[in-house]
Structure 1
Amino acid sequence: MKMKQELDYTRGARPLYAQLYEILLHKLRTGEYKKDDVLPTEAEFEERFGVSRITARRALAELVSKGLLKRQAGIGTMVISTSEKQQVKAGIRLADGHQQLPISRHNLAMESVEPPPTVAAAFGLAPGNQLMRLTRTLYRQNQIPAQLNYIYLTPRLGPLSLEEMDNGLYQLLEERHENIESWQDTITASLADENDCRLLDIPVATALLIKTRKGYNQQQQLVEYTIARHIANCYEYLVEGGR
């Protein structure tokens, strides 16, 4: 229980997964966790730190992505390095400096649709087959939507309803044992189409940043294929390097 005091639960504090990540990184740097050590299970982290398994899993996934840990079937999460390698971090963030404002998600529709050919091919579907697609908008406090998401989900989840998204998509994936363990993003650009204009309330031919994300489970099976359409003048693409 003592370890729970290491996390800051006050309003406005850093996300719990980020705090847990820093604690574990410190333990690696100081030698408390050594190379070839097997870390506690997610259930043990849940007990020790008072966080959910989703939070523990995300913190561990960050360390895996940095080449410090690896997941090994039948063993668990193992330390493979105690020092970070040179990293390049890239992502899209708000350009107005308001990154700390809460994000609101408005789920618009959950429907079975025939996906675009590129999405069908990624899931290994024959032409004419359908996937469940979640359509949602994202926005900050009291602002018009700044982003439109089309999220295509693996057929392994079966039929889904909009109500099942009430507790969040990743909570649903956790319950269905389809947790996202790794992902790949691609950034392109486009002009707004008629549907973008309607759902984002923007003029025709507004510039958009398009982020395509493929999310995979622990078995490297595709779970989600998200096409996120960002209003370009609301966001910036940031690349950072360091250890």
Structure 2
Amino acid sequence: MKLKTSLGDKPLWSQVYDILVDRMNQGVYEAGSILPPEVQIMEEFGVSRITVRQAMDRLISEELISRKRGKGTVVLERKDRASTVFQSSFDKVTEVQGNINKEVLSVKMVTPSPEVRYAFELSENQLVLELVRLNRDNHGNVLTIHYSYLNPITELTTKDDYSISLYKVLTQKGYPIEAVIEEITAKISDGKEKQIFKLRKDVAIITRLRKGYNGKQLVEYSISKYNSEGYTLIINSN
């Protein structure tokens, strides 16, 4: 199968990823089945091993496949995925915060993690804007820390005003958030999280991965960590 190589087309690894996902959705590669070896995929699409591995890495990061020693690359069933995933309209996501104070900790251009780079379909050298914000209670205790990464197509810069809602900023830029996909997990706090939240004991930390879309375009990739002792999160996905 010949991939598109014209200027402006998706990167080759992204095209391979799309085709493999489409085959999973159509049942060509069913849950529990083994994907073809990398060499076979390379030959089918006429691409390098690096390109195939980039596509595979994204599939792994999205928990669609898993590499198993002595068996190969296995297509995962939904029940095998670690996170609860759901999609809802943005205006149906409500945080019950009480009295909190919001603080912008930093705004800078950074080299994205592989997960963020794959999500935005960026080249290896592209930078993204990282916005780090804190929510504190009236006593100064950290309730939440948000790490938000914005797609370069939004043309947001470090000079934009982030003292207002991020979603107002995106709307002003012509990219209002119309839908979100979220994954929520909980685990006992580690050393770094204890330091951030100034915890003296082990408590559950809620991690929320949020992907915000304008139409079908992913514009926001945010990771938020919540101190479960000071925050209540209510999500209505009906």
Per the normalisation by structure 2, the TM-score is 0.53
Return the match for 2:228 from 229, 232, 235.
232
Give the fraction of aligned pairs with identical amino acids, expressed as a percent: 27
Closer/same/farther in 2, CA of residues 239 and 123 from structure 1, 3 Å limit: closer
Amino acid at match of 1:149: H
Q: CA RMSD in A?
A: 3.2
Q: Distance in 2 between matches of 1:65 and 1:110?
A: 27
SS in 2 for 1:199: helix
Closer/same/farther in 2, CA of residues 156 and 174 from structure 1, 3 Å limit: same
Gaps of 5+ in 2: 1-87
Gaps of 5+ in 1: 1-63, 67-88, 94-98
2:45 corresponding residue in structure 1: none
2:138 corresponding residue in structure 1: 141
Segments ≥4 residues shifted beyond 6 Å: none
Closer/same/farther in 2, CA of residues 194 and 115 from structure 1, 3 Å limit: farther
Q: Distance in 2 between matches of 1:208 and 1:221?
A: 30
Counterpart contact for 2:97–2:232, Cα < 8 Å: no
Closer/same/farther in 2, CA of residues 168 and 236 from structure 1, 3 Å limit: closer
- Give 1:214 deviation, angstroms: 0.4
Return the match for 1:188 from 172, 185, 190.
185
Pairing 1:59-98 to 2, within 5 Å after superposition: 65=89
Q: Distance in 1 between matches of 2:201 and 2:157?
A: 32
Q: Distance in 2 between matches of 1:179 and 1:189?
A: 29
Q: Distance in 2 between matches of 1:120 and 1:205?
A: 33
Pairing 1:34-49 to 2, within 5 Å after superposition: none
| Number of residue pairs the alignment of both structures matches | 150
Amino acid at match of 2:115: T
Counterpart contact for 2:129–2:158, Cα < 8 Å: no
Amino acid at match of 1:220: K
SS in 1 for 2:118: helix
SS in 1 for 2:229: helix
Per the normalisation by structure 1, the TM-score is 0.52
Pairing 1:26-175 to 2, within 5 Å after superposition: 65=89, 99=96, 101-158=98-155, 160-161=157-158, 164-175=161-172
Amino acid at match of 2:228: A
- Give 1:222 deviation, angstroms: 0.6
Q: Distance in 2 between matches of 1:224 and 1:239?
A: 19
- Give 1:172 deviation, angstroms: 1.3
- Give 1:204 deviation, angstroms: 7.8
